[in-house]
A and B are shown apart, each in its own frame.
Chain A
Amino acid sequence: MKAFLGAVSVFGPGLAGWAASRPILAGSAPWAMAEALPPAPAILAPGDRRRASATVRFALAAASEATEAEPDRAVFETVFASGNGDGAVIGGILDALHEPEGVVSPTLFHNSVHNAAAGYWHIAVGSTMPSVSLGGHDGAFAAGLLAAMGAVATRGRPVLLVAYDTPMAAPLSGLRTTALPFACACLLRPTAEASEALLELRYVAEAAPDPVPADALDALAPANPAARALPLLRALAARRAAQIHLPLLPDAHLELRVTPC
């Protein structure tokens, strides 16, 4: 499968948006661990802004930045991929269910659906285009890329892929470790105009080879499912051709070839 990458974004520790992160990802500026703070979701109406959780903020920050040059953000099909979904919301409901009263907050409940971030995005930009939300555990970024590139290839439409994950709340955080928050987004198109790179994707029914981290930034990748996109982000930042192995399942991965345009 092929798609052209039009724009990309990133929010993570020491990676505050694409423009600020590009030299760091390319290796021409040093990376330093710093708390990741997603910008307030200015695209949401004030009521929804209050209701949006930190997880939704990360997703919307990535989606907004990848589409900021677009005249109309409502025209994109979307794929949202997240291994954990909104751990704080799920954790809040589980806690409430085990209080003596057992009362669940209605707002928490409608924010608990895995497609909450996608729902907020489509409301914010007034988009009625199709949207799918995927899980994927540690392979969530690869799962999202497979679905998004499939949509581009078969329906010939531009697709916004958003991958995001945040640490779970205690006590689930003790069983499912996500060390840091991370979000990124890719705008994918069927044609080459105004593109950063050509992406070619192939499914391989074998485990991904073990990556060898070259530096501390590479070492972030296993700490968050969305950070598994780092090898792609770094190739794009450096405008470097690359062949990347993205883990999808314990015994399967995607082979991604990146060719700068």
Chain B
Amino acid sequence: MMWPLRISAGTAVSALGAGIAPMRAALHARRGGLAPNTFPGAPAGIWTGAVAGLAEAAPPPELAAYDCRNNRLAELALRSDGFAEAVAAAVRRHGAERIAVVVGTSTAGIECTEQAYAARPSGTRNLPSGFDYARTHDLQALPNYIRARLGLRGPALAVSTACTSGARSMMEAATLIAAGVVDAAVAGGVDSLCRLTLHGFASLELLSAGPCRPCAGDRDGISIGEAAGLVLLERPDAAPGPLLLGAGASSDGHHMSSPHPEGLGAVGAMRAALAAAGLAASEVDYVNLHGTGTRANDAMEDRAMHHVFGDGVACSSTKGWTGHALGASGAIEALLAAICLEDGLVPGCLGIEAADPEFRSDVATANRHTTLRRVMSNSFGFGGSNCSLVIGRG
């Protein structure tokens, strides 16, 4: 049996702060983390969800070669919520060789390469020979850093499926556990602000002029954020805590950067996740949308939601709080879903009064307090990648 898995520890770092507690407080207070951008070299006039405290989050001296913005985000996450200590306890239970690291990122430490490019003397094309590509820019730098920092000796995989990376990593981790390769896995995603992403989305004219407003009738695009979300997944036991009940994925097979207009891929991922969890649609109480705030994504997702759930299940996007943290979004939103379950909270979309009048699903625009048994979390990405997770209570 692949499912369920116990989320025996979790940590989230985002524009809302380092750790689960500030995320929880911000959700209840409806206080977002987006601000006018201060990240250098970005397109003008945008808002971003930057993480505070990275200056103090250097890797330990023996791992200094891994130092880059992305690994600092990972480091801040490992220090938060007792996560590193929880993994150490899991090492005592299972052994370091029996714990995998399966984490997602879209751009890893490419921000470090951008700085190296910019620091070249005028007329020089080459980068400084001391630049450590393998431990910063390379996708594998992220899982290798986390593995080394936690003293783990199991397999380490870097999942990179654009904006589904953080969610999809949990499916790959579950596969390694179910196949008996390991007994536990650190999964999730980390993505940092970088010029490639910011200017790339600007070139597609998908960045909002202010804080993003997913599901609003006059929504105007994405606010990019950065984040790290990590979970420790193990086979379930009697201990209380959130469960990953199932996950499902699909491909659009339609277009590189535009979702299928009717959301067929999104429908496929949501249905696959329900099937993995052995649930009917009516047994889900809240769906945390991918909800980026672009015209096309939110309209597609509403159609897909309505197709799977009708108008009987509350949904909302929380990217108005955190921004779109790309390859980390699925991971922090899984942790956010666990907060919602525990607190009986449906966090209404931030910064909007009413949902797009053309939407047919039940979009929450104010916080609702109700009993939640199960929450679905959606992630969709470029290349036509879709992944949905279902989180429940143990």
Contact B204 A203 (CB under 8 A): no
Q: Which one of B315-323, B372-380, B382-390 is at the A interface?
A: B382-390
Q: Which one of A92-100, A186-194, A211-219, A235-243 is at the B interface?
A: A92-100
Complex formed: what's the CA distance from A105 to B202 in Å?
Answer: 10
Most A-side CB within 10 Å, residue of B139, B171, B199, B251: B251
Contact B2 A154 (CB under 8 A): yes
Write out the residue numbers on chain A whose beta carbons fall within 8 Å of the beta carbon of B144. 137, 249
Secondary structure of the B contact surface, majority rule: mixed
Q: At the interface, yes or no: B117 with Cβ under 8 Å from chain A? A: yes
Choose from B2, B114, B249, B383 the contact partner of A113 (Cβ within 8 Å): B383
Contact A114 B161 (CB under 8 A): yes
The answer to whether residues A104 and B383 also contact, given A93-B196, A131-B249, A154-B2 and a CB cut-off of 8 A, is: no
Map CB proximity to A onto B98-125 as digits: 1 under 8 Å, 0 otherwise: 0000000010101001100110000001
Q: At the interface, yes or no: A32 with Cβ under 8 Å from chain B? A: no
Complex formed: what's the CA distance from A258 to B263 in Å?
Answer: 42
Choose from B158, B160, B253, B272 the contact partner of A125 (Cβ within 8 Å): B253
Choose from B138, B175, B250, B254 the contact partner of A147 (Cβ within 8 Å): B175
Complex formed: what's the CA distance from A119 to B265 in Å?
Answer: 12
Contact A172 B133 (CB under 8 A): yes
Write out the residue numbers on chain B whose beta carbons fall within 8 Å of the beta carbon of A149. 179
Write out the residue numbers on chain A whose beta carbons fall within 8 Å of the beta carbon of B176. 146, 150
Q: Which one of B56-64, B148-156, B223-231, B363-371 is at the A interface?
A: B148-156
Complex formed: what's the CA distance from A175 to B139 in Å?
Answer: 15
Write out the residue numbers on chain B whose beta carbons fall within 8 Å of the beta carbon of A252. 153-156
Contact A128 B157 (CB under 8 A): no
Q: At the interface, yes or no: A116 with Cβ under 8 Å from chain B? A: yes
Map CB proximity to B onto A227-240 as digits: 1 under 8 Å, 0 otherwise: 00000000000000
Contact B106 A174 (CB under 8 A): no
Write out the residue numbers on chain B whose beta carbons fall within 8 Å of the beta carbon of A93. 196, 200
Chain B contacts to A: CB under 8 angstroms = 2, 41, 96-97, 106, 108, 110, 113-114, 117-118, 125-127, 129, 131, 133-134, 137-140, 144, 147, 153-162, 168, 171-172, 175-176, 178-182, 195-196, 199-204, 248-257, 264-265, 268, 272, 381-385
Q: A85-B160, A123-B384 are in contact. List 16 more A-B contacts (CB 8 A).
A: A1-B180, A97-B41, A110-B204, A119-B383, A119-B385, A123-B255, A129-B251, A143-B157, A143-B158, A147-B157, A147-B175, A150-B178, A154-B179, A176-B133, A176-B134, A249-B156
